[in-house]
Structure 1
Amino acid sequence: MNKSITNRTTSQGAKTDHSPLVDFMRAIYPLGKKAGQYIIQNSFRKKIIKGKYLLKPGEFCAHYYYIHKGVLRAFIKEGKKEITTWINPENEITTSIRSMSRREPSLEYIQVMENSDLYVMSFESLQKMYALFPEMNIVVRILLEEYYAASEERSYISRLPSAEKRYRHFIASRPELVNRIPLKYVASYLGMSEETLSRLRGKKSM
């Protein structure tokens, strides 16, 4: 989701009921002042540098991450080979949903691709929000619909028969990522070698 986010403060520097995470959610569905205050009180900002990990296999994921700035990717390993499963830029909320919902060790890595500015909320805090603020159930339903569609998109790309069709679909559907992510990660996401992807990029520029 691409929403314009602004972090606002009072003239004294104290936080109001606005933050990038609150504004992101309010752009999806109206939230009351108390819900906004709850989000601020139960979330925290995390700045993390490129290359660091938010999660590794065997660890339990306990947080949701709103990407205010930066890019995250998830991947699994087969031997020495990395297989990128998703790449998310700004204005996305992401997590390891299997680890989170099933309360089981993660099978994937979540890595920071650019210096990133994240807003973090725990699984428990979000669960409490559902009971305290009924409108949050609508926000989360809309988000789930959005991310289920994104999951279908990834499944669709992986089933396209040719590398060229997968790449063309990627640049049509995710143009904001084309020049931000190293080729090897894009190639991994698209299920092709880096050499094949380089050839396709060169062909397109001719």
Structure 2
Amino acid sequence: MENIIRKIRMYYPVSDEALEALVCLFERFVFPSKTIIIHAGKLDRKVYFIEKGITRSYVLHNGKQITTWFSKEGDTACGSWDLYRHKAGFEYVETLEETITYSISIGQLNELYRSYIDLANWMRVLQQENFLRLQDIHIRRLNWSAQKRYEHLTKECPELFQRVNLGYIASFLGITQQSLSRIRANGHFLT
């Protein structure tokens, strides 16, 4: 659980005692590539901590999959409506390679927050950072050219281009796969 613990402590100095309480409740899952672990419209009361692998979150819009997020080693994956509203969410989460996760129920996680303020603070900081990332993505889509969004992603997350289908990356950037191919063909590619 090295990746998970490292990432938790990257966001907040969670105590050994709190981490032990969290880890004791984990249930391990190994999902093959292309497995949908969270389904839109279906209540899922689990949070998945990714030890190894990568997932993508997406929504369906007019029958088309629109990628909204990628989660990799150390990240968490869950439905935000499931987590905060106790309602079935609108996103799917799919593994893009074999993915090892440790899950915990949202109810158990909420209990841990009541018992360990450092875990509650870790989640607060994590969600704050995720909110700011989403806000940045939204602003970039409104104000930046496709080429500039691509260049930023290659600097921010270069490993995505080695691990993720370019169609998913294009969707995440809000452009067509053909546009992404043109940008890369014009010498704006990862070396």
TM-score scaled by length of structure 2: 0.89
- 2:148 is aligned with 1:165: yes
Aligned partner of residue 122 in structure 2, secondary structure:
helix
Runs of 4+ in 1 over 4 A off after TM superposition: none
Residue type of the partner of 1:51? K
CA 1:205 to 1:127, structure 2 compared with 1: closer, same or farther past 3 Å?
closer
Rg (Cα) greater in structure: 1
Equivalent residues of 2:8, 2:14 under 8 A apart: yes
Structure-2 residue corresponding to 1:131: 114
Once residues 45 and 90 of structure 2 are traced to their aligned partners in structure 1, the CA distance between those partners, rounded to angstroms, is 14
Offset of residue 117 of structure 1:
0.9
- 2:171 is aligned with 1:188: yes
Aligned partner of residue 186 in structure 2, secondary structure:
helix
Higher relative contact order (CA 8 A, sep 6+): 2
Structure-2 residue corresponding to 1:92: 75
Equivalent residues of 2:35, 2:94 under 8 A apart: yes
Once residues 68 and 10 of structure 2 are traced to their aligned partners in structure 1, the CA distance between those partners, rounded to angstroms, is 27
Structure-1 residue corresponding to 2:185: 202
Aligned partner of residue 94 in structure 2, secondary structure:
strand
Alignment partner for residue 176 of structure 1, among 159, 178, 181? 159
Structure-1 residue corresponding to 2:59: 76
Structure-1 residue corresponding to 2:50: 67
Aligned partner of residue 187 in structure 2, secondary structure:
helix
Once residues 45 and 136 of structure 1 are traced to their aligned partners in structure 2, the CA distance between those partners, rounded to angstroms, is 20
Structure-2 residue corresponding to 1:153: 136
- Higher helix content, 1 or 2: 2
Residue type of the partner of 2:93? I
Offset of residue 205 of structure 1:
5.5
Aligned partner of residue 144 in structure 1, secondary structure:
helix
User: Which residues of structure 1 form unaligned runs of 5+?
Assistant: 7-19
TM-score scaled by length of structure 1: 0.83
- Percent identity at matched positions? 25
Once residues 75 and 141 of structure 1 are traced to their aligned partners in structure 2, the CA distance between those partners, rounded to angstroms, is 23
Once residues 47 and 138 of structure 1 are traced to their aligned partners in structure 2, the CA distance between those partners, rounded to angstroms, is 29
- Structure 1, residues 63-108: CA drift from partner, whole Å, max 9, x if none? 1111111111111112231111111221212211123211112211
- Root-mean-square deviation (CA, aligned residues, Å) is 2.0
Equivalent residues of 2:41, 2:89 under 8 A apart: yes
Residue type of the partner of 1:143? L
User: Which residues of structure 2 form unaligned runs of 5+?
Assistant: none
Equivalent residues of 1:157, 1:190 under 8 A apart: no
CA 1:185 to 1:174, structure 2 compared with 1: closer, same or farther past 3 Å?
same
The count of corresponding residues between Structure 1 and Structure 2 is 189
